[in-house]
A and B are shown apart, each in its own frame.
Chain A
Amino acid sequence: MTPLVASLLTSPIGVGHYLVVGAFLFTAGAVCMATKRNLLGVLMGVELVLTGANINFVAIGSPYLSENAVDLGLDGQLMALFVIVLAAAEAAVALAIALNFYNTIGSVDVDQASQLRG
Chain B
Amino acid sequence: MIWHSFFFTLFAALACGFALAVVLTSNVVRMAFYLVLSLSATAGLYFLAGADFVGAMQLMIYVGGTLVLLIFGVMLTAQEEFIRMPTRLHEVALAGMVGLALLLLLSSAAMRIPAWRGPSEPLATTVETPHTVGPLALGLLGLRVDQTEGDAEAPRAGYLLAFEVVSIHLLVVLIGAAYLARGRVGMESLAIRPPAGDEEAEQPDEPSAAAETPA
Say which residue of B48, B61, B118 sits within 8 Å of A84 (CB atoms).
B61
A24-B19, A85-B61 as given contacts; A35 in contact with B92, CB under 8 Å:
yes
> Once A and B bind, how many residue pairs between them come within 8 Å at the CB atom?
283
Cβ A93 vs Cβ B180 within 8 A: yes
**Chain B: interface residue total (CB-CB under 8 A):** 97
Interface-lining segment among B121-129, B191-199, B200-208? B121-129
| Interface set of B (CB-CB < 8 Å, partner A) | 1-2, 4-6, 8-9, 12, 15-16, 19-20, 22-23, 28, 31-32, 35, 38-39, 42, 45-46, 48-51, 53-54, 57-58, 61-62, 65-67, 69-70, 72-74, 76-77, 82, 85-87, 91-92, 95-96, 98-100, 102-103, 106-107, 110-111, 113, 115-124, 127, 130, 132, 135-136, 139-140, 144, 146-148, 150, 156, 159, 162, 166, 169-170, 173-174, 176-178, 180-181, 184
Q: How far is the CA of A45 from the CA of B122 in the complex (A)?
A: 34
- Number of chain A residues close to chain B: CB under 8 A: 82
> Which residues of the partner chain A approach B4 to less than 8 Å between Cβ atoms?
12-13, 64
Interchain CB contact under 8 A, B49 and A9: no
A36 to B67, CA, bound (A): 18
Q: In whole Å, how far is B184's beta carbon from the nearest beta carbon of chain A? A: 6
Q: Which residues of A have CB within 8 Å of B65?
A: 88
In the complex, the chain A residue whose C-beta lies closest to that of B76 is A99
Task: Give chain A nearest CB distance to B28 CB in angstroms.
Answer: 5
How many Å lie between the Cα of A60 and that of B118 in the bound state? 12
Chain B interface mostly: helix
Interface bits A70-82 vs B (CB < 8 Å: 1, else 0): 1101111110111
Tell me which residues across on chain B come within 8 A of A45, comparing CB atoms. 22
Residues of B within 8 A of A87 (CB): 62, 66
**Shortest 9 CB-CB distances between A and B: which pairs?**
A14-B118, A19-B110, A23-B106, A96-B181, A96-B180, A62-B49, A16-B116, A28-B19, A31-B99
Using A5-B9, A11-B5, A55-B46 as known contacts, list a sample of 16 further A-B pairs with CB atoms less than 8 Å apart, ordered by residue number in A.
A9-B5, A13-B5, A14-B118, A15-B110, A24-B19, A25-B19, A55-B45, A63-B127, A65-B123, A84-B54, A85-B166, A88-B62, A91-B66, A95-B181, A99-B180, A99-B181
